[in-house]
Structure 1
Amino acid sequence: MGMHDVRVAGAEELRQFMKRLLRDVKALERMLADGLVETGVRRIGAEQELFLVDESFGAAPVALEVLNRLKDHPEFTTELGLFNIEFNLDPQEFGGKCLSNMERDLNRFLELARQAAAEVNAHVVLTGILPTLKLTDLHLGNMTPNPRYYALNDALCKLRGGSYNFHIKGADEFIVQHDNVMLESCNTSFQVHFQAGPEEFARLYNVAQLVAAPVLAAACNSPLLFGKRLWRETRIALFQQSVDTRGSGTAIREKHPRVSFGHRWLDDSVLEIFHDDIARFRVLIDTEVDEDPFEAIEAGRPPSLKALRLHNGTIYRWNRACYGVHEGQAHLRIENRVLPSGPTPIDELANAAFWFGLMISVAEEHSDVREVMDFDDANSNFLAVARQGLSAPLKWTDGITASADELILHRLLPMAREGLLNRGVDPDDVSRYLDVMEERVKTKQTGAMWALNSFQGMKHKRSMSERLSALTAATVTRQRLGTPVHTWGLVDTHEGASWKDNFYRVEQFMKTDIITVNQDEVIDLVVSVMDWQQERHIPVEDDQENLVGIVTYLTILRYLNQEGERGDAVSTIMHTEVVTVTPETLTTDAVRIMRENKVSCLPVVRDGKLVGLVTERDFLRITEELMEEKLSRA
């Protein structure tokens, strides 16, 4: 759940914290040497993150109200955004009915969350990235008012030294600058845990790295961000960039991001991860530490290692090493952060079962995966499936290269089944979850592909806002039914929020693919662009891409009727007193502004930059759609 009693500290406080951190590491070194960390026991666990949406299926910042209704259930806690919450499942002994018990608990807590959300007119959604999230949702007012989150934001922004620059390219391209870490809250996951003894930790951690790619390929569920079609699992790129504190620097020096797959195999011990992370990444935040770990060891109790756990919680490896204490016994576990949230609990358990099975079977097949695959190939596999999903080509341990779906179906699924059965997992559970995985891979309908195919299928029937709303509404409906994603039908055009909800603000229907010209261009360019693109309004920008004017069709007609040379710059004819609106402007206000100012076009700006365009044509189209809807009901 993370520690919340943290603060942004000064230089002296951070130096003192570093001393405590180093003392925690030394204490762990002693515990490992003296056999004080649990071994010979295998437990699994999970954490579920989810989104909250309102009745219009947009992000609902009501986490505190929902959690207040769940105060008798300590399993629930906050996340970074006020439109997210998380709950934690109790650990299970690995074997028997552990998987179905986990699904039972998952559904029980999910239903509690649904009931609490319903009391504040909200729904819960399991999805890696919420389709209806808007950039305007990601302001600090929607950050959970918790010292940990404020401290992290302040520390990361200070270390970054400026705004965060995002650039992700898929079928579409996402380029944006943002001034806080709230884009991290776009990501939700289903994090699963696998306990490992100290003597086997390095070997099993390497296995987790090796199998991360095929497991993610089958689990992809985050293909859209702000209506952009990006990676099959866009979380991977977005999360790294959302907390990336590296400056541009020099291309020669290699710097590691705080979110990463890692950079090498482990050799002998979990300590290699902690040593590497402490050496590479500065301490960000501080907390009171009221325990000396060596005194706790001498007293016969496991120390909390609070400083080590806090620092470890600010470094986001996709497979994270974790230290914890359970029922008075210290232990180590591997936390898989790869898996996205959703699409349904049975899909999530299928993903988890596949991972658990591979963790066992690959470790049994290869005593040391370092001998059968280069680390760079494992890393390349991971990035390839994040981009391409099941169609990604993977290089495997015996040197073969095959698409992810072929490798999973013909080799890895049988291995996962064998691994689970060999460890005494209930055969009915093994069939239930891995059969779901098999059908998903055969049909190639992951959550990502269902979303993309549904989104594309509505392309000529609905506005962007309506398509994203329908996609989210359909996700909520199908999740309640509980059927796995490979059985889901594509989104019906009538699903989603009401007509009013989809056209309430300008940002929901404004045009974002805009042709502009520079103020120093020749006027003939504007004439040509209007002719080629059939546009009646061309915004004008300066060299810094600030909106400085607009040229209309009427302006051009007047100019063409004048005698003389036509090589003048655009700046000589453009209107400089431009009436603008913001993305948050209400549609009714936009209509009023257009009417009062007798203009037929409204540039949509944020911080002086053009982000969209609304014209009288858009309002005619909306009116036409509204009339058709009303008349069809008459």
Structure 2
Amino acid sequence: MGREIGSTEYTRGQRTRYRHDLRRNLDLFETFLDTAEFVDEGTIGVELELNLADATTMAPSLTADEVLATLDDEGFTHEIGRYNVEANLPVSIPHGNGLADLERALQARLDQVDAAAREHGARAIPVGHLPTITEELFAGEDWRAPGHRYAALESSVLEARGEEIALRINGEGRGLEASFDSIAPESACTSLQLHLQVPPEQFAAAWNAAQAIAGPQVALAANSPFLLGRRLWHETRVPAFVQSLDTRPPEYAAQGVRPRVWFGERWITSMFDLFEENVRLFPALIPESRLMAEEPLLTPGASPRLHELMLHNGTVWRWNRPIYDPGTDVPHLRLENRLLPAGPTPADMAANAAFFYGILHSLVFERRPLWSRMSFEQAADAFEQCARWGLEARIRWPRVTGRVRVADLLLDQLIPQAMEGLRDLGADADVVERYAGILTGRARTGRNGARWQIDTVTSLEVRGLDRPTALAEMTRRYRAGVDSGDPVHEWPVPARTPAVGA
């Protein structure tokens, strides 16, 4: 969730000064972006958010403090929930054996957290939503991790909204309709975040490409079908995250005010477009000034730290977010891809990364860019449809008449294109073959993490289990699947044999 801050409350004067400093940061960034030299190594990075579940009941385990103390490693940190842990992986490369190294690093990080969690009666679960979360968990404040940043964020969101947070998500039956006096549902959303270092001149193309393929990307990886006991979207993280951090009362939403969790509304021509939109459209949530944070304006390498701009950028949750990092000597720019759920296995997550890095490389260098052949509204609609229906979604796509089943689009066009992009990046042939096999198998069977969870719970309920028991049993089987190391499309699903007399 970002760096720690020093306060949870701010005066009107502090907010006014922050607004002025933020605009000065933006002007400085515009000049700096046009004149500075940036690191251009094409490196990749990964952040993985994990859930902690009681080893016996599979209910959320509020043991993050203890688990992190046992880990005693700067590579792990708190997330907003006390049942969450975030793992940061070393910077890597997409060529050669880099993606296989990423898979091994994901496995190592997962094993470390799980071993520490076992010491406290818990297990680490890499999944978009922990299926056993209940509304009772969010009734008090025990769910929240320590730190001023989380308290300040919650206070600012609720103050701006002026009323309780409402979740209204379509699904089976009436779907989910619930209200909360905190941003607690945001803690249910755990993700795999992919970073790509991008030179300034390529950033607009990379961001546009990432937006254009966001729908198929989330369909391929969907892994969050259950929230608070209800079966909802295949990737319920998408609407849950949007609504959990929605600072708009309903009247503002009706007026067209943008949400803080945002897909966007147009293709861009420069990275600056995104920062300018953030400053122009969104008021500050955490107005901590550079002086309050005791940060210098310049680093030893003379790259401006732009404290206010970077802090503000961290409170506008774009699914593809621009990142400016002043570094120690030379600054760099990154694209942060935030739409993937955690899990299911390191093999699945590395395959998801292979798809993203491969397809992005291919699209950036296309003679006629994909985003020039589709409207932004078309890309946004595909993202929503794919989050809702996963590999079963039907979307509009350039040069396709009507709507196409996204699984077919992935098999026929996008997965092969992504693998060609990996080859062009210099990935080893056996690495390309491994992840092509996982991605193709997933699309061909239609079984991503969401589909496996839905089919397993359905089978267990047919056999006589009620929903809470089925969710707990499914989560146990899910963790067993993670232990197997097999990609999710190869996991078994229990037979739908009804109990005698049912």
For the criterion TM > 0.5, the same-fold answer is: yes
Give the distance between the partners of 1:58 and 1:491, measured in 2 at CA: 22
Give the distance between the partners of 1:214 and 1:328, measured in 2 at CA. 38
Partner of 2:114: 114
Paired with 1:103 and 1:456, the residues of 2 have a C-alpha distance of 31
The separation in 2 between residues aligned to 1:28 and 1:367, in whole angstroms, is 30
Taking the aligned partners of 1:429 and 1:270, their CA distance within structure 2 comes to 32
Pair 1:425 & 2:427 matched = yes
**1:450 partner letter:** W
Give the count of matched residue pairs: 488
Matches within 5 A, 1:117-516: 117-138=117-138, 139-172=140-173, 173-249=175-251, 253-266=255-268, 268-287=269-288, 288-293=292-297, 295-296=298-299, 300-326=301-327, 328-400=329-401, 401-460=403-462, 461-491=464-494
Deviates more, 1:1-10 or 1:187-196: 1-10
Q: Deviations over 1:572-591 (max 9, x none)?
A: xxxxxxxxxxxxxxxxxxxx
TM alignment of 1:512-523, pairs within 5 A? none
Q: CA deviation at 1:21?
A: 2.1
For the 8 Å contact 2:94–2:422, the answer to whether it is kept is no
Structure 1 unaligned blocks of 5 or more:
495-634
Question: Residues of 1 paired with 2:63 and 2:237: CA distance?
Answer: 23
Amino acid at match of 2:294: D
Q: Secondary structure at 2:331's aligned position in 1?
A: strand
Which position in structure 1 is the counterpart of 2:74?
Answer: 74
1:495-528, CA deviations, whole angstroms, 9 ceiling, x for partnerless residues? xxxxxxxxxxxxxxxxxxxxxxxxxxxxxxxxxx
In the aligned structure 2, how far is the partner of 1:51 from the partner of 1:491? 24
Q: Deviations over 1:257-299 (max 9, x none)?
A: 0011111111x21111111111111111133243453x54xx6
| Cα distance between partner residues in 2 of 1:392 and 1:140 | 38
Does the alignment pair 1:87 with 2:87? Answer: yes
Corresponding residue SS for 1:335: strand
- Please report how far the alpha carbon of residue 459 of structure 1 lies from its aligned counterpart in structure 2 after TM superposition: 1.4
Spell out the pairing of 1:33-48 with structure 2 (5 A cutoff). 33-39=34-40, 41-48=41-48
Distance 1:335 1:251, change over 3 A: closer
Equivalent position amino acid for 2:236 in 1? T
2:452 and 2:128 map into 1 onto residues whose CA distance is 13
Query: Are the aligned partners of 2:94 and 2:357 in contact in 1 as well (CA < 8 Å)?
Result: no
1:125 Cα deviation (Å)? 0.1
**Match for 1:471: what amino acid?**
M
Whole-angstrom distance in 2 between the partners of 1:382 and 1:475: 26
Which stretch of structure 1 is more off in the superposition, 129-138 or 318-327? 318-327
Which piece of structure 1 moves more, 396-405 or 123-132? Answer: 396-405
Deviations 1:456-505 (A, max 9, x none): 111141122210110111111111111100010115899xxxxxxxxxxx
- Quote the offset at 1:227 in angstroms: 1.9
Give the Cα–Cα distance (whole angstroms) in 2 for the partners of residues 168 and 388 of structure 1.
13
Give the distance between the partners of 1:464 and 1:378, measured in 2 at CA.
Answer: 35
Q: TM-score, normalised by structure 1?
A: 0.75
Instruction: Go from structure 1 to structure 2 and tell me whether the alpha carbon gap of 1:435 and 1:6 turns closer, same or farther (over 3 Å shift).
Output: farther
Residues of 2 paired with 1:366 and 1:390: CA distance?
28
Letter in 2 for 1:479: V
User: Aligned partners of 2:312 and 2:6: how far apart in 1?
Assistant: 11
CA distance in 1, matches of 2:483, 2:253: 49
1:102: which partner in 2? 102
* TM-score calculated relative to the size of structure 2: 0.94
d(CA) in 1 for partners of 2:326, 2:71? 25
Measure, in 1, the Cα distance between the counterparts of 2:400 and 2:359.
Answer: 18
Q: Quick one: distance in 1 between partners of 2:369 and 2:455?
A: 41
* Alpha-carbon offset, residue 327 of structure 1: 5.4
Alpha-carbon distance in structure 1 between the residues aligned to 2:129 and 2:252? 33
- Once the two structures are TM-superposed, the CA of residue 17 in structure 1 deviates from its matched residue by 2.1
Identity of aligned pairs, percent? Answer: 35
Preserved CA contact (<8 Å) 2:164 2:182: yes
Partners of 1:258 and 1:209 lie apart in 2 by 17
Tell me: CA distance 1:253–1:353, structure 2 relative to 1, closer, same or farther (3 Å). same
> Aligned with 2:341: secondary structure?
coil
Cα distance change of structure 1 residues 131 and 491 upon mapping to structure 2, 3 Å threshold: farther
Counterpart Cα distance in 2 of 1:108 and 1:327: 28
The C-alpha deviation readout for 1:549-578, integer Å capped at 9, x for no partner, is xxxxxxxxxxxxxxxxxxxxxxxxxxxxxx
CA shift in 2, pair 1:89/1:433, >3 Å = same
- Secondary structure of the 1:438 match is helix
Whether contact under 8 Å (1:470, 1:491) holds in the other structure is: no
Greater shift after overlay, 127-136 or 22-31? 22-31
Q: Is the 8 A contact 1:470 1:493 kept in 2?
A: no
Q: Aligned-residue CA RMSD in angstroms?
A: 1.8
In the TM superposition, residue 161 of structure 1 has moved relative to its aligned partner by: 0.2
Aligned residues of 2:53 and 2:59 also touching (Cα < 8 A): yes
Superposition deviation, residue 307 in structure 1: 1.7
Matched residues in 2 for 1:164 and 1:319: separation?
Answer: 24
Contact 1:6 1:286 in 2 (8 A): no
Give the residue type in structure 1 aligned to 2:200: P
Cα distance change of structure 1 residues 405 and 370 upon mapping to structure 2, 3 Å threshold: closer
Q: Deviations over 1:116-156 (max 9, x none)?
A: 11111110001100110011112322111210000001111
User: Residue type matched to 2:281 in 1?
Assistant: R
User: Which amino acid counterpart does residue 290 of structure 1 have in structure 2?
Assistant: E
Query: Do the aligned partners of 1:170 and 1:387 also contact (CA within 8 Å) in 2?
Result: no
Q: Which moved more, 1:246-255 or 1:443-452?
A: 246-255
One-letter identity of the residue aligned with 1:441? A
Q: Distance in 2 between matches of 1:26 and 1:290?
A: 21
Task: Give unpaired runs (5+ residues) of structure 2.
Answer: 498-502
Q: Match of 2:500? A: none
Structure-2 separation of matches of 1:79 and 1:252: 32
Deviations 1:174-216 (A, max 9, x none): 1011111000011100011111110111111000000111111
What is the CA–CA distance in structure 2 between the aligned matches of 1:109 and 1:198, rounded to whole Å?
Answer: 32
For 2:220 and 2:317, how far apart are their aligned partners in 1? 22
Alignment of 1:526-545 (within 5 A): none
The letter for the 2-side match of 1:242 is: S
Q: Deviations over 1:359-391 (max 9, x none)?
A: 011222245444211000000000000111112
Q: Would you say the 8 A contact 2:363–2:369 is kept in 1? A: no
Amino acid at match of 1:358: I
**RCO higher in structure (CA 8 A, sep ≥6):** 2
